[in-house]
Amino acid sequence: MPNGPLSGIRVFDLTIAMVGPWCAMQLGAMGADVCHVEARDVTGAGVPPNIKGQSIGYITWNMNKRGIQFDLKSQDDRADAYELLKTCDVFLMNMRPDVAGRLGVDYESVSKVNPNIVYVAVTGWGQTGPMRDLPGADGQIQHFTGFGSANGVEGTTEGEIYRHFTQMDATTGNYACQAILMGLLARKRTGKGQRIDVSMLKAISSLQSGRLAEHLSSGQDPKPLGSKAQSVAPSQAFLCQDVRTLGVEATNEAEWRGLTQAIGKPELAEDARFATNSDRVEHRDELSAILEPVFASMPLDYWVMELGKVGVPCARPMRWDELKQHPQVTENGYLVDIETKSWGTVKTGGPPWHFEKSPARWFRTPEFGEHSDEIMREIRAELAAGKTTAAARNQ
């Protein structure tokens, strides 16, 4: 396999659900040796649907790893886990705060085994506060952070959960991945490992910095606007003559003027109500009332052609069966076919970045405990040879 930018880095991946596995999957794509730890009695239950008895979530979020199983409540298995930890650069888990202590992998215990480790604990609500011990899931976080209240059908007051519900999980996982990279960089500079805490609550608050700033500056809560954007107008979906939907957005004044030309209404560019983006946002409803019948007068392909001529961003919602065959997707490796032992060919998203000198990689999810013997043989040989660091493993 190619030597990615994290080649030689080893990760003890004690993660469940999506947040942690998603994070570790990105590290594995960058070349890290990610040892995904499952309990010995794991059954494959998880986020539905299942494929041949195993969760689609497990399949999708655990690519680029090797699989090992431990019963961390067992003294012998815990001793084996500590041997593995001696050779690891990163420890990652996403469970409630007190679980790590019960399993003997709290920071104090792990740092005694390996003082240089970058220890990352991901929780739903943080390490302190009245909600610290509660489970945190994507939908809960959307509601609690106000994300849900700003999304939904225009004119409603309660909002709704974003239907692609893994948005909060993946965002938190990405923040955790960033934290690990920064922790490894800090260790290289200082020679010291450290504990890093990441919570979904903080991650999704950061994700909404722009919306929070709007509230703090105006004193008003963002309201659901359907497909419309809060800070740009026009930026919404329009129904065309052939009953297909087209997303259109004018992000600057040049695009706005181009849009008015493309739809045959250049006078809108001189209308004081729509002179600037701020004006258009203020008069969003009036602008929509003008544009909706215009787009409804011609089919979608006509508007894609006309808007493309003047450089106005537009796109139609694409179905998955279309997306996977689109040349822009295939030529850039957005989707990758992976051959698996139990599930046949699985189509999955590939690496989101391209490294010219140290290419990323993407390979199948391990079956439960598939590499247990292989990993233990390797780490015992490394311990015997004194090769407990990434630098030594890269020699």
The answer to whether the bond into 49 is cis (omega within 30° of 0) is yes
pLDDT digits (tens, 9 = 90+) for 239-255: 999 999 999 999 999 99
Phi-psi region of 312 (alpha: psi -120 to 50; beta: other; left: phi over 0): beta
What pLDDT is stored for residue 160 in this prediction?
80
Alpha carbon distance 268, 123 (integer Å)? 50
User: Which regions of the chain are under pLDDT 70?
Assistant: 1-2, 43-49, 163-165
So what's the pLDDT on residue 78? 98
Q: Identify the residue whose tokens are 């950061």.
A: 206
pLDDT given at position 393 = 84
- Domains recognised in the chain with CATH numbers: 10-207+326-393 (3.40.50.10540), 235-239+245-315 (3.30.1540.10)
The predicted model scores a pTM of 0.92
Backbone phi, then psi, for 348, in 5-degree steps? -140, 160
Q: What's the CA gap between 227 and 240, in Å, rounded?
A: 15
Residues 319 and 312: their CA atoms lie apart, in Å, by 22
Q: What is the DSSP string of 307-324?
A: HHHTT--EE----HHHHT
- Amino acid present at 231: S
pLDDT tens-place string over residues 333-382:
889 999 987 788 888 889 999 999 999 999 999 988 999 999 999 999 99
Residue 248's DSSP bridge partners are 236, 314
Reading the block at residue 276, the tokens are 């600037």
315 Cβ neighbours under 8 A, 6+ residues apart: 246, 247
